[in-house]
Structure 1
Amino acid sequence: MERPRRPTITDVAAEAGVAASTVSRAFTHPGRVNQHTRAHVLEVAARLGYAPNPLAQALESGRTSTVALVVPDIANPFFVGFVKGAERALASSQRTLVLADGRESAVAEEAVVQRLHRSVDGFVLVASRLDDDALRRAAALAPVVLVNRVTTGLPGVVADYVGGAEQIVSHLASLGHRRAVVLGGPTGSWSGARRWTGLQVAAGRHGVEVERLGPFSPTFEAGAAAADAVLGLRSAAGRDARPTAVVAHNDLLAMGVLARLAERGASVPDELSVVGFDDVFGAALCSPPLTTLAERSERAGALAVDALLSGGAPVGPGQPPQVVPTHLVVRRSTGPAPAPA
């Protein structure tokens, strides 16, 4: 069956008795068309079933009504919340989300910006791996809002890593842990560096010794090597100096650690307590269920879009980013520190 022909702008113009350019302005620049003429054009368009071509509108107006959200790894479930929050905020303003993968690479992320900046109205860069100079180059091409990354002069939204680190260390200290290993993430991770700093400060307040191992890839697969490194550290230390807790860069790494510890016969939490970051889907389903610091990622995604739609303008050097609270979700992967043998 032959599909009926879609009405065109020329059909609407002929039916309404106006020029095609008037029809175009009625949709793209309504302030430049007489109010009664515009109402007449819209009525004819609705009766004919005409809808303007968004690509044509973009060419005329210079606006695409699309925003690009760039994440380091689209396979990481942690970023789902940011996508959902951003998409909902954009849908409510009749805009469309474009999702792009930075592939945990500053080079790949900058290439995404270069490829898309003419096709979108702005960027939300989540956990960007770009350095400050590259971020400013991106902002010179299109409005940019950062999430979980801070660069002077650019608007941003960040999780409360200081408060989150305090919650983690306070929880471990309350269980009697006095030595912990922190499994670091990618070297280019701004949030990873802030988590480590926050954990060090909190550990000093609570009398907990922390040692950092890594960097490790923020993936489940990297958990095996990370767990082996922890067990090697424990075997090399005296019984009284062995770490009894592990804080992983993210949940995927933590879940990989749990799996490897089980393979090697190390009991969690009887011998080692394990904590993650992010509270991704699956953190409550692994064995044992993972204690982790949860971020309000949907809220962060929505706030970033709101900032972008309000102009995404550069901010003053002293203006801090918006801070989104975090909260510790306690599950069975943490327990009392084992007594020295």
Structure 2
Amino acid sequence: MPRSRPCRLPVVSTANRWTSSACCVRFGERYRFNGFLSRPMAAAVRSTTMSESTKVTIRDVAREAGVSPTTVSRALSKPGRVNLETATKVREVAERLGYRTKNLEPRQDDALRGMILTTTSDLKYSVFADFVDGMQHPCIERGFILLTALTEEKRNLERSTIMRMSTQVDGLVLTSSRLSDSTIRKAAQVRPTVVVNRLVNGVQSVVCDDRPSLTAVVRRLKALGHESVTYIAGPESSWQNGLRWQALLSACQKERMRLRQIPGPQVFDEEAMRESYAAFFDNPTTAVILFNDIFALQFLDVLTAHGVSVPEQVSVVGIDDTTAGTRSTPTLSSIHIPRGRMGTQAATKLIGKLLHIDDGDSTPIVSYSTFVERGSIGPASAEPIV
């Protein structure tokens, strides 16, 4: 008499756990997460009691998943019309019950974890927080968790973060990345990737064109009688820094204004900023444009410490249009960048790729900045700065 084989129940892992070293905190603080998409063991056991010959209907799937038949239909044929958690639950139930339809095809989103990683330099600067805030809304709407890793302007930290996390998340949004184009392209080969404030060939980009607003700044300064401008640059690794310099160079040439560049600090550090600004007094100009509002606000303090009045002796313009600039004395003229909208566009584009509802257009998404004039600029002064 042949041996009877023991009945084996299907084994389904309920762990699906991972450890993240970056979830809205700096590296070094570790957290554990449980994958909310893992299939319960009890469900696997129940599936063994069903007869394979039983014809499963869409109502059976709806009843088991706790949703309406209409929701089941949408989840299986048009998953973009329901949130991620519902779509995944319905597809898992349909698969477990043996429900088949000609529209049910294997999809990559079957394995989605429901998590997106964004990297950013530092949330203490409101600019980066605005981008992240914009990303959060479409993530919540579609049932994704947004994880934020702080890279502190360090390439090695950004690279290692992406390498360690890319296997644990569904996609990446890289904000003002300092990585090389080739490194970003490699990351995009592992996980769907969108870059913000950066153009990378072959990778979806969301950028802001500052050229029209910088041209408007130069024209306004020219109208106020300024003949020379100093640009205090940002980090050398910043893609935006190079574009802003080229835009200013072109605008000043058209307006026949003298333009010089002073290397700015490579990190957002007050002492480094003061050291960079010292070079301005060797050959001062009546107008100064700085890489961002952080630099500009610190420069206002330095000018005050040297007894230089703004805008009576020097006109100052920042870039980013932060809240802090509206509270300074004088209020800071700046260039407004629609950061929240850009963050939303980046997350929406990435989620569209993940859920296969994207239109497939990889053309860069371009927004435009605007010049906001406030109290920090005025007519050029003939009084020399000592």
Query: Scaled by the length of structure 2, what TM-score is found?
Result: 0.72
- Residues 231-264 of structure 1, C-alpha deviations (whole Å, 9 max, x = no match): 2222xxxxxxxx1011111100111101111111
CA contact (8 A) 1:13 1:19 kept: yes
Larger radius of gyration between Structure 1 and Structure 2: 2
Q: 1:214 to 1:41 in 2, by over 3 A?
A: same
Count of matched residue positions in the alignment of Structure 1 and Structure 2: 301
Tell me the alpha carbon deviations over residues 21-60 of structure 1, each in whole angstroms, 9 at most, x when there is no partner: 99xxxxxxxxx9742222222349xxxxxx99x9xx9xx9
1:300 to 332, 339, 342: 342
| Matched letter for residue 39 of structure 1 | A
For 1:92 and 1:106, how far apart are their aligned partners in 2? 32
Provide the residue aligned with 2:262 in structure 1. Answer: 213
Cα displacement (A) at 1:67: 1.1
Number of the residue aligned with 1:238? none
RMSD: 2.9
Mark the runs of 5 or more structure 2 residues left unpaired by the alignment.
1-38, 68-84, 93-108
Distance change >3 Å, CA 333–CA 37, structure 1 → 2: same
Please, which of 133, 140, 146 is the counterpart of residue 97 of structure 1? 146
Q: Does the Cα contact within 8 Å between 2:232 and 2:291 map onto a contact in 1?
A: yes
Q: CA deviation at 1:74?
A: 2.5
For residues 305 and 209 of structure 1, the distance between their equivalents in structure 2, rounded to whole angstroms, comes to 41
**8 Å contact 1:132–1:151 — kept in the other structure?**
yes
- Give yes or no for contact 2:120–2:177 (8 Å, CA) kept in 1: yes
User: Contact 1:72/1:129 (CA < 8 Å) preserved in 2?
Assistant: no
Which position in structure 2 is the counterpart of 1:3? none
Partner of 1:163: 212
User: Does the 8 A contact of 2:235 with 2:264 survive in 1?
Assistant: yes
Query: Distance in 2 between the 1:192 and 1:21 partners?
Result: 64
- Equivalent position amino acid for 2:347 in 1: V
Q: 1:140 to 1:245 in 2, by over 3 A?
A: same
Out of 267, 280, 293, the position equivalent to 2:322 is: 280
1:132 aligns with 2:184: no
The one-character-per-residue Cα deviations of 1:131-150 (angstroms, maximum 9, x if unpaired) are 11111111111111111111
Cα 1:111–1:177 change in 2 (3 A) is same
**1:40 equivalent in alignment to 2:68:** no
- Where relative contact order (Cα < 8 A, 6+ residues apart) is larger, the structure is 1
Find 1:247's aligned residue among 280, 289, 306.
289
Counterpart of 1:187?
236
Residue in structure 2 matched with residue 29 of structure 1 by the alignment: none
Alignment of 1:1-341 (within 5 A): 9=40, 18-19=46-47, 34-43=57-66, 61-217=110-266, 219=268, 221=270, 222-234=272-284, 243-311=285-353, 320-339=363-382
Q: Distance in 1 between matches of 2:247 and 2:122?
A: 24
Q: Structure 1 length normalisation: TM-score? A: 0.81
CA distance in 1: counterparts of 2:366 and 2:224, whole angstroms: 29
1:71 shift after superposition:
1.2
Residue 13 of structure 1, CA deviation: 7.9
Change in Cα spacing, 1:270 to 1:21, as seen in structure 2 (3 Å) is farther
* Secondary structure, counterpart of 2:324 in structure 1: coil
Relative to structure 1, the CA distance from residue 282 to residue 293 in structure 2 (aligned partners, 3 Å threshold; closer, same or farther) is: same
Q: Quote the offset at 1:319 in angstroms.
A: 6.5
Partners of 2:56 and 2:317 in 1: CA distance: 61
Q: Secondary structure at the match of 1:203?
A: helix
Percent identity over the alignment is 28
Partner of 1:48: none
Contact between 1:220 and 1:253, CA under 8 Å: does it hold in 2?
no
Deviation, 1:9, is: 4.3
Q: For the residues of structure 1 that align with 2:179 and 2:128, how far apart are their CA atoms? A: 17
**Aligned-residue offset at 1:225:** 2.3
Equivalence for 1:26:
none
Which letter does structure 1 place at the counterpart of 2:276?
A
Q: Which runs of 5+ in 1 are unaligned?
A: 1-7, 23-31, 45-50, 235-242
CA contact (8 A) 1:224 1:259 kept: no
Q: Is the 8 Å Cα contact of residues 214 and 371 (structure 2) preserved in structure 1?
A: no
Specify the code of the residue in structure 2 equivalent to 1:232.
D
Separation in structure 2 between the aligned mates of residue 42 and residue 77 of structure 1, nearest angstrom:
42
Structure 1 residue 281, shift from structure 2 partner: 2.3
| Cα distance, 1:220–1:254 mapped onto 2, change above 3 Å | farther
Give the direction of change, closer, same or farther, for the CA distance of 1:203–1:319 in structure 2 (3 Å limit).
Answer: farther
Alpha-carbon offset, residue 73 of structure 1: 2.4
Q: Distance in 2 between matches of 1:150 and 1:179?
A: 31
